[in-house]
Structure 1
Amino acid sequence: MERTTLVLTAALFLLPLTGCAGSAEAGDGKNVTITIGYQSKTINTVTAGTLLRSLGYFERDLNALHDGHTYKVDWQDYATGAPITAQMTAGKIDIGSMGDFPLLLNAARGKQLGRPTHLVSVTGYNLRGGLNTVVTAPDSTLTSLKDLKGKKVSTSIGSAADGTLVRALQRVGIDPDKDISKLNQQPAVGASALSSGSVDALSQFVAWPGLLAYQDKAKALYDGAQLNLPTFHGVTAREDFARRHPAVLKAFLKAQAEATDYLNAHPVTAAEEVAQATGLPAEVVYLYNGARGIATFDPAVKPQLVSALKQDVSVLKAAKLTGDIDVDSFVDDQYVKKALGTSYTKWLTETPAPATSEVWAKGSDKTVSFKSARELLAYVAQHQDRIRGAYVPDATTGTLWFAEKAVWVTDGDQLLPFVTPATAQTYVTAHGGARIVSYREALGRAS
């Protein structure tokens, strides 16, 4: 989806640089076309893509400029960030959205070709890294990352999911280059490989882990939030376009902020709209984009995210995908500051609220929140036929997960959910009397 494989990156970046005139200058001088590159199924970029497009806010704000031009927006949907970067450096896309690692490749390619781009805003993020997950087959006997030694693992080299895999393996003493067999695959290919048994595990980014778990095609093996390192998605714009058309970029960022407000105010409705546009189950969209989902949405370029971006450079360099990248020169939040005015400071300093247990009832456009996972289980036990989705935060990382897919631990009166068996076992080992129980037993204890 938003990340790219090494092979695809190389192939797309070798495209000839034809049509170098900026697409925003297309037309007869009065009629202007703005070209936006987005990824419909990369659901943490929806406020700059799928949702924004459906809401029509950008077109509305362009029409309100009254600058003598008639604007048309050309929305171009891509499967990964690589073709967006190729088209941007060819002058054919003005604004694009993608994940953090592709953003770095975007920065590197733009500088290399003398056509610089800049990170101008953020879409969805998780300050602990929970957007990336390592999963394994539902019937797998693997219970922790240590079990991956000597195994086959699918990922997309050059993606944040690969970065999560590399860092996590190194923490448990496994050399990701020598101790595992890493297959460089697109997410859909890796998902098929996992289902067929040709790989033992899959490390991928939103929304693949949640989707596969929801479809009973995978179970979580490692929660990226255990790294406690931010991962995010953002908006990049061509420098020449931004300088020639600052009012247009300002209108886009203002519209993105409004789409963000809409998503945050109407999370269930927004999830339904994104699901309809992408074909993804709304329950999976809500897991990531919900009121207290794995992703937080705001357009501010937070210092924590910039710091994480700098740390990501070393992963790309180790994979020989890029050399040094000047992250500070790539980041440019002047346009989003102007677009949002005084509210930008609020976005910049706001801390994401911790996830809470939630139930989405069938036929409802709202969710019900609970103070504890035990209370949620008690409710689910009494209304099982009416539940569309039940979500609980991991007791240690806070990562939201499907209640029926979580690993449950009983500890006295507490019923605690965990995304993975390893984190659940770590808790049990540290707390005498605690033990892992099935979801069915957890429901019974709660009721």
Structure 2
Amino acid sequence: MNHLDLITMQEAIDLLEVSRSTIDRWRKFKRLPFIKIGKEIYFHKEEIQQWVRQHSKVHEPIDENRIDQTIRMTTPDTITIGYQSQTAHMWSPLLMKKLGFFEEELAELNPTRPLQINWINAKNGLELIEGMIAGQIQIASLGDYPIMIGHQLSTIFPNFNPVLLAFDGKTSQSEGISLVIPKDLHFHDVTDLHGHTLATVTNSSAGHRLNRLLSGINATCEVINQDMNLSYSNIIERGVGVSVMWEPYVSLSELQGAATMHFDGFTDDYLTGLVALDHWAQLNDDIVIAYLKAHMRTHQFAREYPLKAAKLLSELTGISHRVTTSIVSKVRWDAAVYKQDLETLKNLSITDQSFTRNVTGSKGCIPYRGYYLNEASKRLQLTSVSDRPLEGDWSLDYLY
């Protein structure tokens, strides 16, 4: 090998100061030249140096003594995770933070250089999208409609390039989002909404479904934008007519005697997912994979120990154990991305033009980067989830 000026995979890792997965990705997607002899991978040292020159923003001769310094400058010292503790379908980051899974994965990734984690608890998805546009948040948990809003906004902000990494909590037929009616206010069908004031979070998964519901009926209603906490208080105190809520507020309202209605118009699956900045993810793929490993471990914990998960969530949120237990058992904790899920996201922007009509140039659904989830599943020794969306219905045999 020395006579041929070839270096091994490990020598290439040491030379470039990147991970094996990064080199594999570069080989697959960026044509990093390599030689395969049997099952072993080798690299021509001079060809690697030339490839790096071609992919550098400033074409300068490579100084091998400066490679380590360059890597240290581009590797972040902190990572900011955005989540929403007020949305039950996105309780995974709350559990992950409590269990310390992400810290464990990062420590395994680089024991000598700890990475500081900042957790931002937002009231809604748009707040997290604004943080991502500003470059302050790298990974965020969002509802299905905010995911598509972020995709639409990428046509306005050229440096904002969100991509889908995985899903979080899922429920079919929008279960977990309901119309909540104060007690003693009797509703029989959707036409009874006429003349009432409706509250929800606009440009949210609940707000989208309310808009679609109202567009299909002949009723005049005033829709006001309210935080879920305020909507819940107004429902209990009769300060507002009706509210479209998501869990845990639906279950909390029912405990207080409010009625809930789940209309046939709520037919889309309710999806929540993880979104990252594409350019940041490509530069920090090992961190992204570490987060997805922690994400899937959290899912596994919620599935295998639902009572323990519910108890922790009750302590963290102040919500009764009865409510958290009910919600944890109803949600499908599955990170896998199915083709039908991407179609569901795509349909959100098609059926609701209230936001997207002023945004041009965006086509299709948010890009899905399946490489990271697939790599995370392999490192956890799970069945490979594939780089591409899965076909068919949600599997009962494999959850991630």
Superposed counterparts of 1:204-243, under 5 Å: 204-216=245-257, 218-220=258-260, 222-223=261-262, 227-243=266-282
User: Could you tell me which of 380, 383, 388 is aligned with 1:343?
Assistant: 383
- Deviation per CA, 1:135-174: give whole Å up to 9, x if none: 1011112222121122221122212212222333445x33
Superposed counterparts of 1:157-176, under 5 Å: 157-171=202-216, 173-174=217-218
SS at match of 2:198: strand
- Deviation per CA, 1:361-418: give whole Å up to 9, x if none: xxxxxxxxxxxxxxxxxxxxxxxxxxxxxxxxxxxxxxxxxxxxxxxxxxxxxxxxxx
Aligned partners of 2:150 and 2:327: how far apart in 1? Answer: 25
- Tell me the CA shift for residue 128 of structure 1: 1.1
Aligned partners of 2:114 and 2:205: how far apart in 1? Answer: 39
Aligned partners of 1:193 and 1:83: how far apart in 2? Answer: 23
Code of the residue aligned with 1:308 in structure 2: it is: T
Shift of the 111–62 alpha-carbon distance from structure 1 to 2, 3 Å rule, reads: farther
- Deviation per CA, 1:210-231: give whole Å up to 9, x if none: 1111233x211x2157633111
Shift of the 99–202 alpha-carbon distance from structure 1 to 2, 3 Å rule, reads: same
Aligned partners of 1:127 and 1:120: how far apart in 2? Answer: 20
Matched positions, count: 319
- Tell me the CA shift for residue 63 of structure 1: 0.9
1:191 aligns with 2:232: yes
Percent of pairs identical after alignment? 22
Superposed counterparts of 1:103-114, under 5 Å: 103-114=147-158
Match of 1:124 in 2: 169
Superposed counterparts of 1:424-435, under 5 Å: none
- Tell me the CA shift for residue 323 of structure 1: 2.6
Aligned partners of 1:283 and 1:344: how far apart in 2? Answer: 35
Shift of the 248–211 alpha-carbon distance from structure 1 to 2, 3 Å rule, reads: same
SS at match of 1:183: strand
Q: Which moved more, 1:196-205 or 1:241-250?
A: 196-205
Code of the residue aligned with 1:197 in structure 2: it is: R
CA contact (8 A) 1:132 1:203 kept: yes
Superposed counterparts of 1:132-147, under 5 Å: 132-147=177-192
- Tell me the CA shift for residue 238 of structure 1: 0.7
- Deviation per CA, 1:84-122: give whole Å up to 9, x if none: 211111111111101111112222234421220111110
Match of 2:341 in 1: 305
Shift of the 308–29 alpha-carbon distance from structure 1 to 2, 3 Å rule, reads: closer
Q: Which structure: greater strand fraction? A: 1
- Deviation per CA, 1:291-322: give whole Å up to 9, x if none: xx1x2110011222211111111355224685
Aligned partners of 1:224 and 1:30: how far apart in 2? Answer: 49
TM-score using structure 1 length: 0.65
Aligned partners of 1:272 and 1:95: how far apart in 2? Answer: 26
Gaps of 5+ in 1: 1-24, 354-447
1:36 aligns with 2:72: no
SS at match of 2:119: strand
SS at match of 1:211: helix
Superposed counterparts of 1:185-334, under 5 Å: 185-216=226-257, 218-220=258-260, 222-223=261-262, 227-290=266-329, 293=330, 295-319=331-355, 323=359, 325-334=362-371
TM-score using structure 2 length: 0.73
Aligned partners of 1:155 and 1:321: how far apart in 2? Answer: 21
